Structure 1
Amino acid sequence: MFYLSLVLMIIGGVILSRKRRSFIGGIVFVTGSFFLLLFLLYLILDKAARISPLFESLVFMGVYGVGFLLFLGICLYFIINTHIMSTKEGRSVTAKLSAGLGLNILIVLPLTFYLVVMGTPLRWPLIVFILLFTFLLVDLIFTLLFGAYLVYSWFSQKFPIKRKVDYIIVLRSGIRSEEVPPLLKSRLDKGIEYYRKNPEARFVVSGGQGADEPVSEAYAMGKYLRSQGIPENRIILEEQSRTTLENMKFSKEKIFADWKNQEAPFIIFTTNNYHVLRGVLYAGKVGLKAEGVGAPTALYFLPTALIREFIALLIHYKWFSIGLVLLSLLFTTISFLPL
Structure 2
Amino acid sequence: MRVLGIETSCDETGVAVYDTALDGGDGLLADALYSQVAMHAEYGGVVPELASRDHTRKLLPLIEQVLGEAGMARGDLDGVAYTAGPGLVGALMVGAATAHGMARALGIPALGVHHMEGHLLAPMLERKAPAFPFVALLVSGGHTQLVEVRGLGEYRLLGESVDDAAGEAFDKTAKMLDLPYPGGPRVAALAEQGDPARFRFPRPMTDRPGLDFSFSGLKTHTLTAIRKLDAAGELTEQGRADIARAFEDAVADTLTIKCRRALDQTGLKRLVVAGGVSANVRLRQGLDDACAKRRATAFYPRGRFCTDNGAMIAYVGAKRLAAGERDETGQMQATPRWPLEQLRAPQRAPAAETR
TM range (shorter): under 0.3
TM-score (norm 1): 0.27
> Larger helix proportion, structure 1 or 2?
1
> Larger strand proportion, structure 1 or 2?
2
TM-score (norm 2): 0.26
Of structures 1 and 2, the one with the larger relative CO (CA 8 A, separation 6+) is 2
